[in-house]
Amino acid sequence: MVLPCEPSQPILRPADQVMDLDRLGSQFQSRLSFVRSSMRRMMNQQWRIRRRRFDLDGEGFGTAIYRIDTPHAHYHCVIFSAYLPPEKRSDRVIADQWDVSFVLLAGDVDELQLQDLRRNVPLQEAGRFDSRVLVLSRANRSLRNFERFVAALAEGTQPDPQQLAEVGYLYRTTAVYGNGKFGIADFSCLQGNEDFTQPFSAQMFTVYLLRHFSIEQIEHMARARNPQRAVGLAIALQRYLGVGNSTGLGMAPFLINHPQLVNQWVWARETALAQVLGQAADLPRVERLRALLERGRRHVQETVTDDQRQAALDQCTLADLARLIQWFDAQPVSSDLWTRVQGWAQSHGGKGCQELLVSLLLELYPQLVDPLAEQMAVSEGFRLNADMPLTELRVLMENHYRWALELDLDSPAANHFFWYRSVEKRSRAWVSAPWSRERKRKCSWASRTTSSAATQHYWPIWSSTRSS
């Protein structure tokens, strides 16, 4: 009797390759990115967003409330926009005033709760909230774009698209709080929530609402300035518009404290890639990838950064993409084309080109990739196998953590960054500065340096064995 074979597990790229810091920093958004998966859920389930209140004056100051109806529940986003004195304008975490402050909360908002929110939301960390609040955030206007956009719309013209290419937002957040901060709902409260059960989905949706508000706010201000000539923002520019992020410092301790969660994210992406590489190429998908390669090239070409190192890397990626496209155009359609194109990129392209190709390949098979977005969450917990011999533990560490063991912490680069705690708001940051070993020993609050901290940004480990 011949027993049926179980389906073979896809072969994933090795951990020491995937967890390389330069490679992690070279990744591009994909179908598994939080914003993409959240938008798919919104569209597939036809979420309805309605403006319930829009009490703004001509300068855009006041209160806006949006009601969100999903197939499973309803929510409200409450936004407070206020005048921000120039001397108070700061994107640092120690700031105590912002252009807008806002919350996403479950259920209804009555006048009593609205008054409570009006007292507390602008205070942010200094305020107090209850578990109906799912997300707490604040943001500042872009000094380069906001006024230009309003002025152009008020005169009946569209803003220069180049402005969006250089600064792609009207607002930039300086913090997006979730997971039980300051009394708001803990992430465990969302575990049974059909709408926001995935990590960061509530936060990403709240940021999406800020983007939606920013468009309606500048159009309102333009009409207030020039009711006869004002026009709305063109749909093409609306689609190009994003939201800025000033710091992102909270991701450093998050990545350190949630290794299994990060493991799950990387596992999902690598599994998607392995499944795609196992498919036989066909002409429609070959043509689709060719179009995506050109679109990816334009994306990198339009990327603007003040960081000279990243700008140089982008130029290398563009050169690699040009060679990849030339090679791809000369290839016949064959069942192994996907593995061959990845192999060419591995041999002839840099990490930027390689990781952009990964994202583009995932676009070809949404039916394989998209279900993995529902597996980005994990029940975190550590189980100690007390019977494991130390020799076995050592083998596991050397096999799955080789990328970490090979880090040279005695090199000068290991002391390029240091981690500190601010006395002003008990906030943390990591700073680029000369940092001598002698000074490091004298300062108890800087007991750990990065790369140290730079490497511990990515200390959560992914291995070819999926964690539970």
Give the DSSP letter string of 181-250: GGGS--GGGGTT-SSS-STTHHHHHHHHHHHHHHHHHHHHHHHHH-TTT--PPPHHHHHH-EEEES--TT
Residue 420 pLDDT: 61
H-run or E-run covering 18: helix 15-18
Q: Is residue 168 part of a domain?
A: yes
Q: Is the pLDDT of residue 2 over 50?
A: no
Range in 179-183, 221-225, 423-427, 428-432 with the lowest mean pLDDT: 428-432
Q: Read off the tokens for 186.
A: 């803990």
Residue 7 pLDDT: 52
Of 375, 398, 431, the position where a domain reaches its end is 375
Q: Is residue 32 part of a domain?
A: no
Q: Is residue 131 part of a domain?
A: yes
Q: Read off the tokens for 287.
A: 């043509």
d(CA 303, CA 297): 10
Range in 44-48, 113-117, 175-179, 221-225 with the lowest mean pLDDT: 175-179
Of 347, 375, 403, the position where a domain reaches its end is 375
Whether residues 51 and 195 share a domain: the answer is yes
Decide if 177 contacts 105 (C-beta within 8 A): no
Residue 380 pLDDT: 81
Q: Is residue 5 part of a domain?
A: no
Whether residues 107 and 198 share a domain: the answer is yes
Stronger pLDDT, 347 or 422, i.e. the higher one: 347
- Averaging pLDDT over each range in 124-128, 250-254, 351-355, which range is the top one? 351-355
Whether residues 221 and 262 share a domain: the answer is no
Q: Is residue 347 part of a domain?
A: yes
Whether residues 110 and 134 share a domain: the answer is yes
Decide if 129 contacts 136 (C-beta within 8 A): yes
Range in 39-48, 88-97, 263-272 with the lowest mean pLDDT: 88-97
- At 55 the three-state DSSP class reads strand
Residue 383 pLDDT: 80
Considering the entire predicted model, what is its pTM? 0.81
Mean pLDDT of 303-325: 94
- At 282 the three-state DSSP class reads coil
Q: What is the per-residue pLDDT across 337-351, written as a single tens digit (0 to 9) for each?
A: 999 999 999 999 999
- Confidence band (pLDDT; 50, 70, 90) for 76? very high
Q: Is the pLDDT of residue 413 over 90?
A: no
Whether residues 187 and 295 share a domain: the answer is no
Q: Is the pLDDT of residue 178 over 80?
A: yes
User: Number of structural domains, the chain?
Assistant: 3
Mean pLDDT of 385-411: 87
Residue 384 pLDDT: 80
Give the sign of the dihedral formed by CA 338, CA 339, CA 345, CA 351: positive
Stronger pLDDT, 213 or 453, i.e. the higher one: 213
Q: Is residue 1 part of a domain?
A: no
Q: Is the pLDDT of residue 243 over 50?
A: yes
Q: Is residue 8 part of a domain?
A: no
Residue 156's domain comprises 45-249
Residue 33 pLDDT: 93
Q: Is residue 277 part of a domain?
A: yes
Residue 225 pLDDT: 97
Whether residues 139 and 219 share a domain: the answer is yes
Q: What is the per-residue pLDDT across 83-112, written as a single tens digit (0 to 9) for each?
A: 999 999 988 777 899 999 999 999 999 999
Of 333, 348, 375, the position where a domain reaches its end is 375
d(CA 28, CA 119): 40
- Confidence band (pLDDT; 50, 70, 90) for 406? confident
